[in-house]
């Protein structure tokens, strides 16, 4: 059984929020551990062909970038994102030719950049990105973004859990 580290029971709000997000982030790599190369990009849901292990990891990586770099920090998009005005809404999930190990490394690096981007910000700090990049058109607080990213990451960890069980029977925290 894999040991998981949860945030302290009595920590301050910031420590709790980042701790819960980091915990969910750690589950992403855990759910991908020892997955066969044949299953990294296997499509198991006929109505959702982009919902693969690799596709979900890529989606989570770009969500980290979008929310923390573009929205919170207000870093200008220099065209490195997979999205274009006339492109597919889920363009970040088109990764059939990208190895899962690379996607996981990129995800870990993005999570580290996310934490660095918010290290000195108050939970009340508002998004700095242009209005088109902001949640619902208005500026959200860092507190809101952290809560959203906990929800977003946990939801997709659940997807990874289900897909992994379909692929090879691997469940929960067992090795």
Q: Provide the CATH number for the domain around residue 46.
A: 1.20.120.450
Ramachandran category for residue 96: left, alpha or beta (phi over 0 → left; psi -120 to 50 → alpha): alpha
Instruction: Determine, yes or no, domain membership for 2.
Output: no
Scored b (16 or more CB within 10 A) or e, 57-84 reads bbbbbbbbbbbbbbbbbeeeeeeeebee
pLDDT of residue 59: 96
Instruction: Determine, yes or no, domain membership for 141.
Output: yes
Instruction: Determine, yes or no, domain membership for 4.
Output: no
pTM of the model: 0.92
Give the closest residue to 25 by CA, choosing from 80, 72, 68, 74. Answer: 68
Count how many domains the chain has: 1
Mean pLDDT of 73-99: 84
Q: Distance between CA 14 and CA 149 in Å, rounded?
A: 14
pLDDT of residue 171: 80
User: Could you list the residue range(s) of the whole structural domain that residue 35 is in?
Assistant: 13-168
Eight-state DSSP code of residue 104: H
Mean pLDDT of 92-115: 95
From residue 125, alpha-carbon distances to 68, 72, 100, 122 in Å are 12, 8, 34, 5
Query: Confidence band (pLDDT; 50, 70, 90) for 1?
Result: very low
Query: Confidence band (pLDDT; 50, 70, 90) for 7?
Result: confident
Question: Are the beta carbons of 28 and 57 closer than 8 angstroms?
Answer: yes
Mean pLDDT of 26-42: 94
Instruction: Determine, yes or no, domain membership for 20.
Output: yes
Mean pLDDT of 3-23: 91
Instruction: Determine, yes or no, domain membership for 173.
Output: no
Instruction: Determine, yes or no, domain membership for 142.
Output: yes
Instruction: Determine, yes or no, domain membership for 6.
Output: no
Instruction: Determine, yes or no, domain membership for 82.
Output: yes
């Amino acid at each position: 059984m894999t040991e998981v580290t949860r945030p302290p029971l009595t920590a301050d709000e910031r420590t709790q929020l980042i701790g819960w997000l980091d915990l969910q982030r750690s589950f992403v790599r855990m759910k991908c551990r020892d997955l066969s190369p044949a299953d990294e990009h296997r499509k198991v849901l006929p109505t959702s062909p982009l919902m693969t292990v690799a596709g979900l990891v890529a989606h989570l990586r770009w969500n980290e970038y979008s929310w923390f770099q573009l929205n919170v920090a207000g870093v200008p998009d220099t065209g490195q994102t997979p999205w274009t005005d006339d492109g597919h809404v889920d363009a970040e999930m088109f990764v059939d030719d990208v190895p899962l190990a690379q996607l996981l490394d990129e995800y870990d690096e993005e999570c580290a950049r996310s934490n660095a981007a918010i290290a000195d910000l108050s939970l009340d700090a508002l998004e700095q990105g242009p209005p088109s990049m902001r949640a619902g058109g208005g500026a959200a607080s860092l507190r809101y973004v952290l809560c959203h990213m906990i929800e977003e990451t946990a939801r997709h960890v659940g997807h990874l859990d289900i897909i992994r069980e379909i692929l090879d029977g691997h469940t929960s925290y067992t090795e």
